[in-house]
Amino acid sequence: MSKAIELKNSSFKKNLGPSLSRFFFLFSIAFVFFALILWIFGKNPFRAYVDIFLNTLGSTYGISETLVKMIPLILTALATAIPSRIWLINVGGEGQFHMGAIVATGVALNLNFLPGWILLPVLIISGFLGGGLWGMCSGFLRAKGWVSETISTLLLNYVAILLVSFLVFGPWKDPESANYPQTAEFGEAAILPSLGQSRVHLGIFLASAALCGFYFVMSRTRWGLEMRAMAANMEAARRNGIPLEKYFLILMLIGGGLAGIAGMCEVSAIQGRLRPNISPGYGYMGFLISWMAMGNPWGIVAAAFLLAIVTAGGDILQMTQGVTGSVVNILLALILFVVLARQGIIRGRK
């Protein structure tokens, strides 16, 4: 297939991939294998699944908690999906998430005299900039041709996570919270409001807006077209005068920024303060969601929903079955295996 035709056909909407029922079939394979593994290690797989689904989808509270987990997952998925439109591989959602949380915390602790209607937008912007500039470092290294963004984002993850530990054990430690490594609690004005009684917060609108914006830009604007051209053939795009380096920087800024907003939401709406372990691997899961969805906005929502249930499943299994919470990593991996293995064959047949 020639590049020109491919460019036309790979229009954004047609990238739906296999139908929903096929996906359910695939997931059931993963679930069966996970049940098998649980069974081998002497747990009751049926009880495990009943526990997971009852606690996540069986009640309004469970559903709202699943939604709460979906917010950061959608944002970190976009952090990978947006740069991946031009084959930039951003594995740094985790680090960008933490940097967003750090900068937002810094602002929330130091500007606590501001009223909420000024402070909250400032917080969102600072979270965006924290994650975005962190991502842009990798974009810069790539644009200069020095370090591949895959490696640099991966390494910067660890630096950002350690920076959080440094801050909450050191300079930002709240003297009042005895031995707990955490910052002081945010003021009332710095808390992102929740919807009703649930923990679902305004971040859900930010995530939805980001998704819509992503879809709109990719399918309806000149930038989207230029990005599709770059994805199809970098060299041709360069010769047509598309500024590649600028795209590297800006897409990493936007991608990292969205992950940063996810981090900001986590500290502002859920935790109310910065502490270590604010993320159970949201950044990495976002990366995998983006690959599962192949960049399709609806796919991102569906995959985020599934992985939100799986993430919650870890805590649930730890409580009800007495297994280590890491066990859900197996389920997560199995789901990805079946999806990735299937995608590979589809691409291969082209």
Partner 1 sequence: MMLTAISSLLVGAIHSGTSLLYATLGEVIEERAGMINLGLEGVMLMGAVCGFVTTVKTGNPALGLLGAALAGALFNLFFGFLVINRRANQLACGLAMMFFGVGLSAVIGAPFIGSKIKGLNEIDIPLFAEIPLLGPVFFRQDLLTYAVIPLSLIVWWLLFHTRFGLNLRSVGENPTAAFAAGKNPYFLQYQALCLAGVLGGIAGAHLSIALAKTWQEWMTAGRGFIAVALVIFSKWHPLWAIAGALIFGGAIALQIQLQALGVPISSFLLDMLPYLLSLGILAIWGGKRRAAAPGSLGRVFQGTE
Residue with tokens 């020095």, as numbered in its chain: 146
The residue within the footprint of partner 1, chosen from 30, 71, 101, 288 (CB under 8 A), is 288
Does 345 help bind partner 1 (rule: CB under 8 A)?
Answer: yes
Which x/- pattern, by CB under 8 A, does the window 140-159 give for partner 1? -x--xxxxx-xxx-xxx-xx
In 3D space, the residue among 135, 78, 98 whose CA is nearest the CA of residue 249 turns out to be: 135
User: Which tokens is 214 given?
Assistant: 């992503």
C-alpha distances in angstroms, 314 versus 207, 279, 282, 283, 285? 24, 13, 14, 17, 14
Alpha-helical (H) ranges within 144-191 are 149-169
Residue matched to tokens 């690959």: 291
Pick between residue 126 and residue 157 the one whose CB is nearest to partner 1. 157
Q: Which of 284, 293, 300, 306 binds partner 1 (CB under 8 A)?
A: 284
* List of residues 6+ apart from 171 with CB closer than 8 A: none
The residues with which 194 forms a beta bridge, in sequence order, are 201
Among 7, 26, 29, 37, binds partner 1 (CB under 8 A): 37
Q: Which of 16, 36, 162, 319 binds partner 1 (CB under 8 A)?
A: 162
Could you tell me what percentage of the chain is helix, strand and coil, using 3-state DSSP and rounding each to the nearest 5?
A: 75, 0, 25
Question: Does 165 participate in binding partner 1 (rule CB under 8 A)?
Answer: yes
Q: First CA to last CA across the chain, in angstroms?
A: 8
Q: Is residue 166 part of the contact set for partner 1 (CB under 8 A)?
A: yes
Minimal distance, residue 170 CB to partner 1, in Å? 5
Counting contacts by CB under 8 A, is residue 337 touching partner 1?
Answer: yes
The Cα 126–Cα 147 span in angstroms is 27
Encoded tokens for 172: 């930002």
Residue 91 near residue 155 (C-beta atoms within 8 A): no
State yes or no: residue 163 binds partner 1 (CB under 8 A): yes
SS3 for 201? strand
Q: Does 328 bind partner 1 (CB under 8 A)?
A: yes
Q: Which is nearer to partner 1, 189 or 330 (CB)?
A: 330
Interaction of residue 29 with partner 1, rule CB under 8 A? no
Q: Which stretch binds partner 1 (CB under 8 A): 45-53, 57-65, 96-104, 137-145?
A: 137-145
Shortest gap between Cβ of 295 and partner 1 (angstroms)? 12
Minimum distance of partner 1 from residue 118's CB (angstroms)? 33
Q: Which stretch binds partner 1 (CB under 8 A): 16-24, 44-52, 234-242, 323-331?
A: 323-331
Conformational region of residue 219, where left means phi above 0, alpha means psi within -120 to 50, and beta covers everything else: alpha
Q: Which is nearer to partner 1, 210 or 338 (CB)?
A: 338
Q: Which is nearer to partner 1, 88 or 129 (CB)?
A: 88
* Residues 97 and 161 sit within 8 Å (Cβ to Cβ): no
With tokens 């960049």, the residue in question is 295
Q: CA-CA distance, 159 to 302, in Å (whole number)?
A: 31
The residue (of 115 and 145) whose beta carbon lies closer to partner 1 is 145
Q: Does 274 bind partner 1 (CB under 8 A)?
A: no
Structure tokens at 135: 């991502």
Stretch that binds partner 1, among 10-18, 253-261, 264-272, 321-329 (CB under 8 A): 321-329
Compare residues 190 and 252 and give the one whose CB is closer to partner 1. Answer: 252
In this complex, which beta carbon is closest to partner 1, that of residue 52 or of residue 141?
A: 141
- Footprint of partner 1 on this chain (CB under 8 A)? 37, 41, 89, 91, 141, 144-148, 150-152, 154-156, 158-159, 162-163, 165-166, 169-170, 284, 287-288, 291, 323-324, 326-334, 336-337, 340-345, 347-348
